[in-house]
Amino acid sequence: MDAIREDITGKRARGLDRAFEILDHLRLARTPMKPNEIASQIGAPRSSVYELVNLLLRNGIVEYSGGDGRIFLGRKLYFLGAAYENHFDFSRECEKALERVAGETRETAQLCMLDGNKYTVVHMKEGIRPFRISADVGHSVPIPWTASGRLLVAHLSDTEILNLIPENDFHLPNGTWLDPQAFIAEVRAADKAGEFTFNSIVDSFTHCFAVPVRGELGTTIATLCLVAPRDDGLKNREFYLACLKAAAQDLHQKPF
C-alpha cells in the first residue's frame, strides 16, 4: 500500500510540474496556442497535456482565446497576482522607488529579477522621452545580455553560474561570443563595485545602469536599473548611479 501511495503522490507531483511548465510556456510565448502545439514544443505526451489543459480550463487558470481551440493564461491568474501584490509590501515600495528614480533622472527606471535561468523586468516606470527604449515587463532575456545579470548571479560560485546559464546564452545579439570566464570576471567586479554599467548589447543606442537591491542576508534579490540614450547615459553616469544607489539603499532598509 505504501508503494502505491508513493506512486500516486509521485504522479501528482509530476502532473503539477507539467501544469506549471504549460503555464510558463504560454507566458513566454505571449500568444494563444493549441494544446497539441504546446505538447510538441515542451516535449510532453499529448494525452497528458490535454488532460492538464482541461483541468486548468475548469479552474479558470487558462481560457480559450483566439479560436481553433487555442488557450491562453486565464483571468484567475490576474486575481491571484493582484492578491499577491496587495500582500507583498516589497512590490509597492519598488513602485515608489522607480517613480523616484524616473522623476530624478527623467529616464526609464526598472526593477529586475531572475526568472529561472533568465533575466526579466518585473516593474517599470517610463521616462519622459517621446520614444520608448525599454524592455517589456515579464519578457525573459539571457542573463549575459544585461547589466543586471552581472549582479543577480553574484551570490553564486563560478561553477554554479556556468551550470545556471545555458551555453547558447553567451552568444550575443550582435553575433559575437562572450567568453564565460570573462563574464564571471565582470560578475565579481560588479559585485565588488556595487554597480554595473555598459553600452547595451541588445541595441546600439542605449546605455544601461544596474545597482543591487540586497536582502537581509546581503545577497542581491533584485536590481534597480536605468535605460538611457547612450550619450546622455555617459554624460550623466555618476548622477544616475547616485540616484539608483540612494533608492536601492532605501529599499534595503525596508522591513520586508
Question: What integer pLDDT is reported at residue 13 of this predicted model?
Answer: 62
Asked if residue 211 lies in contact with residue 147, where contact means CB atoms within 8 angstroms, the answer is no
Residue whose cell numbers read 547612450: 230
Question: What integer pLDDT is reported at residue 11 of this predicted model?
Answer: 60
Question: What integer pLDDT is reported at residue 144 of this predicted model?
Answer: 96
DSSP the chain: -HHHHHHHHHHHHHHHHHHHHHHHHHHHHTS-B-HHHHHHHHT--HHHHHHHHHHHHHTTSEEE-SSTT-EEE-HHHHHHHHHHHHH-HHHHHHHHHHHHHHHHH-SEEEEEEEETTEEEEEEEE--S-SS--SPPBT-EEEGGGSHHHHHHTTTS-HHHHHHHS-GGGGB-TTS-B--HHHHHHHHHHHHHHT-EEEE-SS-SSEEEEEEEEE-TTS-EEEEEEEEEEHHHHHHTHHHHHHHHHHHHHHHHTS--
**Delimiting residues of CATH 3.30.450.40 domain(s) in the chain:** 88-252
As a whole number, mean pLDDT of residues 16-42 equals: 88
Asked if residue 89 lies in contact with residue 53, where contact means CB atoms within 8 angstroms, the answer is no
As a whole number, mean pLDDT of residues 206-233 equals: 89
Question: What integer pLDDT is reported at residue 92 of this predicted model?
Answer: 76
Asked if residue 250 lies in contact with residue 190, where contact means CB atoms within 8 angstroms, the answer is no
State the Cα–Cα distance between residues 162 and 39, nearest whole angstrom.
29
The model scores a pTM over 0.75 = no
Domain at 88-252, CATH from 3.20.20.150, 3.30.450.40, 1.10.4160.10, 3.40.50.720: 3.30.450.40
Asked if residue 213 lies in contact with residue 155, where contact means CB atoms within 8 angstroms, the answer is no
Residue 110: pLDDT over 70? yes
Q: Which residues pair with 208 in a beta bridge?
A: 198, 227
* Domain 2-78 = CATH 1.10.10.10: yes
Question: What integer pLDDT is reported at residue 187 of this predicted model?
Answer: 97
State the Cα–Cα distance between residues 106 and 232, nearest whole angstrom.
11
Question: What integer pLDDT is reported at residue 54 of this predicted model?
Answer: 92
Residue 75: pLDDT over 60? yes
Share of the chain above pLDDT 90, in %: 46
Task: Please write the tens of the pLDDT for every residue from 164-211.
Answer: 999 999 999 888 999 999 999 999 999 999 999 998 877 668 899 999
